[in-house]
Homo-oligomer: A and B are copies of this chain.
Amino acid sequence: MARAWSLKSRPDGMPLTGDFEMIDLPDTPLAEGEVRIANHWLSVDPYMRGRMNDVKSYAPPFQLGEAMQGGAVGEVIESRAPGVAVGDMVQHMFGWRDEAVAPAAFVQKLPALGVPPQAFLGQLGMPGMTAYFGLLTVAEAKAGETVFVSAAAGAVGSTLIQIAKAKGMTVIGSAGGSSKCSWCQSLGADVMIDYKKDGSLVKKLHDAAPQGIDVYFDNVGGEHLDAALAAANLHARFAICGMIDVYNSGRATELRYLPRVIGARIRIQGFLVSDYLAQAGDFYREMGALLQAGKLQSEETVFEGLDAMPEAFLGLFSGGNTGKMLVKI
């Protein structure tokens, strides 16, 4: 019998494992146009924390007692949809479960890029697209500019480093701990900041980028955003992708350097990758070329088995992952 994780109670602050509950899924026959998928890889992403609150946001809240959702990759094991065959590898949003039943229209076959299937949950999926469109379209980063990225060792940040270097930018990254920083440097980051070390982030960023930054790609918010405001050059652009610092605490962000927005004419732009799906072709073309040129590396932090989903998810908030955080079934 198929199983799925559901939300038992809405977390107040940092979620607890007791907020999650495994449920059995009813064993329903396929309707016309549906497919059944054996999920092999499940994604956990920081944005999912927002869906655990019962508030109106860009994605609807998870409903208590129902199967949660999220990115997943798997193999079609039964099909009543023309054009989708048993054995096809597909990606879809019916994750947090071992087996999914979905309308074929909600399922995409994996592009033939010669990469492992789970890459479509990371560098070649939503996190990679987030880096690509955030850097190039939202922030309009150009060759010769200096880009600062927080959570640089995450799925988004680590891809961003490589795209930015391939495009001729200087990259300053921030990550927690020396092994993550070393890995980011091996990907091409010019200077890394270990935010867990003592000292103010404002000073660390100033030392790392004495000429200032032209672009900030924000995954974190809070003190990182304030340091970026302090270091921003004239006409700097900030692409705001995430604010993992406050997803659980819900506390106010304190910005000492916010008035610099005026004198430096800074542009701060929030975005969601879903706004750019129509341009996904550009992304696959460019990323495919980088892959073939051997210019894309990735890491995964993998938990084994559906039972490990909550643990993998919670690890996102304690810096538990290098590269993409995944659960393998």
Contact = CB atoms under 8 A, between A and B. Distances in A.
Contact of A265 (B57, B247, B261, B272): B272
A228 to B, nearest CB: 13
Contacts of A260: 270
A269 B271 contact: no
A16 interface: no
A266 to B, nearest CB: 5
A253 B226 CA distance: 10
Contact of A261 (B226, B261, B270): B270
Interface string A262-274: 1111111111100
Interface stretch (A17-25, A238-246, A301-309): A238-246
A65 interface: no
Contacts of A221: 258-259
A251 B258 CA distance: 10
Contacts of A57: 263
Interface string A286-304: 0000000000000000000
Contacts of A266: 268-270
A210 to B, nearest CB: 14
Q: Chain A, interface size: which category?
A: 20 to 34
A278 interface: no
A256 B252 contact: yes
Given A57-B263, A263-B57, A275-B265, A243 B258 contact: yes
Contacts of A58: 262-264
A113 interface: no
Given A252-B256, A254-B253, A255-B255, A272 B268 contact: no
Contacts of A271: 262, 265
A245 to B, nearest CB: 10
A135 to B, nearest CB: 16
Contacts of A246: 258-259
Contact of A268 (B254, B259, B261, B264): B261
B272 A262 contact: yes
A4 to B, nearest CB: 26
A307 B64 CA distance: 69
The 10 closest A-B pairs by CB, nearest first: A261-B270, A268-B268, A58-B263, A262-B270, A252-B254, A252-B256, A253-B258, A267-B269, A243-B259, A253-B255
5 contacts: A241-B262, A253-B255, A253-B256, A265-B271, A266-B268
